[in-house]
Amino acid sequence: MESRERFAVIVGTAAAEQIDGGPGNDVICGGGGNDVLIGSNGADTLGGGDGDDRLEGGDGDDTLDGGAGADVILAANGNDTITGGAGNDTIEGGDGNDTVDAGDGDDTVTTANGSDTILGGAGNDSIVSGEGDDVVDAGSGDDRVLAGGGHDKVHGGTGDDRLDVPAHEVGDACVEA
């Protein structure tokens, strides 16, 4: 299924589907299957729903919500809002200033060059912050955080957490244990 309109609302079914958004600001809801939802250049809203979904944002300021399931969420160059939901999700932020709420589950979160806000949620998360001035709250669980370049602020939360800071960045991280 593909949209060629400037704006489209597309709702999937219970089956596994691939839905491609058009060049406009699309709203795409996956439904119950293991779906692949692809945004384009607009400010898209993608909702995976139930199932193990793959969401790919485009170059606009997108809202990506994986829903329940073990989802793969890939942002692009906009200032994106990303929610993992319940399940063990893999989330990759793009080059914008992203806000990531990984949700419950053992999640893997990686961000790129923007100044990002990352919430790990409950679970044993692995978080790699990118080059911007990031704020990380790992949440509850035994988490591992690798602080990237920039002046990062990291709060480990409850659990036995591990913070790794590259040697050339030691003076730039602010840690709350």
Residue 3 pLDDT greater than 60, yes or no: no
Domain ranges of the chain: 9-176
162: number of Cβ within 10 Å: 12
* pLDDT score recorded for residue 171: 54
Q: What are phi and psi of 172, to 5 degrees?
A: -105, -5
Confidence of residue 174 (pLDDT cuts 50, 70, 90): low
Residues contacting residue 167 through CB under 8 Å, at least 6 positions apart: none
Confidence of residue 168 (pLDDT cuts 50, 70, 90): low
**Which one has a higher pLDDT value, 54 or 6?**
54
* Tens digits of residue pLDDT in 116-162: 999 999 999 999 999 999 999 999 999 999 998 888 999 999 999 99
* Tens digits of residue pLDDT in 46-96: 999 999 999 999 999 999 999 999 999 999 999 999 999 999 999 999 999
Query: Is residue 136 helix, strand or coil?
Result: strand
Mean pLDDT value across the chain: 91
